[in-house]
Amino acid sequence: MPSSAGTSARERRPHGSVALNAAPTSNPEANAEDDAKDDAGPRRSRRALWLFFGLLLVYSANGRDISASDTVGNQLLPVALLRGDGLVLNRFASTERDRYYVKQRGDDLIPRYPVLPALLALPATAVQLLALDHVVPGWARSRTVEYWYIGMMSKNAAALLAALTGVLLYGLLLRLGLGDVALPATLATALGSNLWVVGSQAPWLHGSVAFFLTLSLLLLVPAPTVRWRLVAGGLAMAGAVCARPTSAVFALPLAVWALAALRARSLWLLAPAGAVGALLLAYNWTVFGHLAGGLGEIEALGHAKHAVSGSITEEPLVSFSGTLVSPARGLFVYTPWLVLALALLPRTGRRIRASAPLSAVLLGLVPFYAVVGSYAVWWGGWSFGPRYWTEAMPLFGVLLGFALGWAREHGRAWLAGFGVTIGVAIGIQAIGAFYYPSSWNEHPAPVDLHHERLWDWQDTELHRSLLEGPHWPPAYEMIRRRMVG
C-alpha cells in the first residue's frame, strides 16, 4: 500500500531530513506561493508603518500650520479641555469673544463649529502639552506666543490624524484586493489632493470626516461578517456625520444597503449610529436651542461676508461648474488624476460593484456634488483649492486604486497619464504646503466679494504664491539666513 507506506515514512522521518516526495521539492511553485502568503502580512504591516511615518514627515515638513478663522475654535478647545474648562473657551474670551465662530451663552463662550475634531486631537495635544509645560514653563504668558504654540500643537495633531487616514486607506485598498497598486494609490491620494494642505495642517472638519469615512469602509468592506464590525462601522459613519452633517449623504445609502441586505442584523449597524445621532441633536438643542446647532448660526452670519443672499446658489451653472473647473477652486484642476479615474469607471465599475457597502457609500458622491454645487459659497472662502471636496478624497482614492489596477493590466498609455497627473497634483499640493497663503485672496479685491476672480486664469492662487515666495517658519528662516549670509 504505497500511500500508507509513504505516510509512515514521512511520519518516521528524522527531524531536519528531507523526503524526495515532500511538497517543497515536488511542487516548488506552490511552496513559493505559500511562502509569499505567509510573508505578506508582516511585509504589509511594515509598509503601513513606513507609510504612516513617511506621510507624517511630509505633512510636517513645512514647519507651520495652515489654518483659518474656521479652525480657531477646534485649535483652542483641546487646551481648554485639558486644563479642565470643559467644552467652553472662557480662558480665551479676551481675544475670541466677538468672533463669529463662538457664541456667548450666559458666562460661557461656546464654539459654534462641531467639536469632534477637538476631541480627536486630545491624545496628541495632551502629550504635547505635558512636554511643553515641562520644557517651556510659562509659555502661555504672552497671548501671541501662546497662540503660536497652540497652532503648532493642533497642526501636529491634524498631521497625525491625516497620516493615520492614509494608513487606513492603504488597508482598505488591500482588503479590496488591490495589493499591487494599493501603495501608489494611497500615496497619490494622500499627497496629490487636499488631504495634504487642508486635511493635515489644521483641525478642519474635513479631515475628521475623511478619517471616519475611511475607517467605516475599512470595517464594512468587502462585507461585514461579525457583529462588532457592524457596530464599529456604524459608529465611524456616525462620527463622520457628527463632524460635518453633510456627510449624511454617505450615511444614508449605507443605511439603505444595510436594511435591504442585512435585514434584522442591520440593527447592529444602525442602532449605535442612531444613538450617536440622537446625542448630537440633543447637544445642539440644549446648547444652541435648535437642531442645526452652531453651523446653522454660522451660515446665517456668513451671507453678507461672502456677498450672497442665501445658502442656495442663484447661479447654479457657475457654482456647479466652478467647484470642478475653476482655476482657483476646481477639483479637476487641483486633482487632475481624478479625471482619468472617473473616465475609467465603465471599465472598473464591475469590480467596484462587487462590494455592496463600498458601492453604497460611493453612490453618496452624487448627492455630495449636488450639495457642494448648489451651495452659494461653493469656493469655501479663503482656503487652498477645492476645500469642500477634501473629505471625499479617500473615496476618490478607492476609484484611483481600481483605475490603476485596470491600467496596470491593460494600458501603458493610461499608466503614463496617471503618472503625469499624479505628479502635477503632488506639485500643486507642495506649492500650497510651502507657499500658501499669498495675497491673492485679498488683492486686488477680496475674492469673497468679487467672485469673478475665481475664474481668472491669468492671476491664480498658485501663480501668485510662486511669485511671492515660500513661507519660512522662524527656525527655517534663521537657518536660511545663515546659509545665505
- Contact between residue 168 and residue 211 where contact means Cβ atoms under 8 Å apart: yes
Query: What's the chain's average pLDDT?
Result: 90
Report DSSP state, residue 375: B
327-343 confidence digits (pLDDT tens): 999 999 999 999 999 99
369-428 confidence digits (pLDDT tens): 999 999 999 999 999 999 999 999 999 999 999 999 999 998 889 999 999 999 999 999
Which grid coordinates belong to 411?
A: 494600458
- Among 422, 354, 431, 364, which residue's Cα sits nearest to residue 391? 364
- Among 252, 234, 194, which residue's Cα sits nearest to residue 371? 252
At 339, the amino acid letter reads V
Report the DSSP beta bridge partners of residue 312: 375
Q: Model pTM?
A: 0.90
**How much of the chain exceeds pLDDT 90, in percent?**
82
Q: How far apart are CA 433 and CA 13, in angstroms?
A: 64
- Among 171, 222, 231, which residue's Cα sits nearest to residue 360? 222
Query: What pLDDT is attached to residue 304?
Result: 86
Residue 7 confidence (pLDDT) above 60: no
For residue 21, give the 3-state DSSP assignment.
coil
Query: What pLDDT is attached to residue 300?
Result: 86
- Contact between residue 67 and residue 200 where contact means Cβ atoms under 8 Å apart: no
| pLDDT confidence band for 108 (50 / 70 / 90) | very high
| pLDDT confidence band for 481 (50 / 70 / 90) | low
DSSP string covering 386-438: -GGGGGGHHHHHHHHHHHHHHHHHH-HHHHHHHHHHHHHHHHHHHHHHHH---
Which grid coordinates belong to 425?
A: 497634483
Query: What pLDDT is attached to residue 450?
Result: 96
239-248 confidence digits (pLDDT tens): 999 999 999 9
First to last CA, the chain: 89
Q: ∠ CA 197-430-185 to the nearest 5 degrees?
A: 80
| pLDDT confidence band for 42 (50 / 70 / 90) | confident
For residue 169, give the 3-state DSSP assignment.
helix
Query: What pLDDT is attached to residue 30?
Result: 47
| pLDDT confidence band for 225 (50 / 70 / 90) | confident
Query: What pLDDT is attached to residue 41?
Result: 78
Higher pLDDT, 24 or 255: 255
* Largest CA-CA distance found in the chain, in angstroms, rounded: 94
46-89 confidence digits (pLDDT tens): 999 999 999 999 999 999 999 999 999 999 999 999 999 999 99
| pLDDT confidence band for 479 (50 / 70 / 90) | low
Residue 25 confidence (pLDDT) above 70: no
Query: What pLDDT is attached to residue 38?
Result: 53
User: 10-19, 209-218, 305-314, 469-478: which has the minimum mean pLDDT?
Assistant: 10-19
Q: How far apart are CA 340 and CA 231, in angstroms?
A: 35
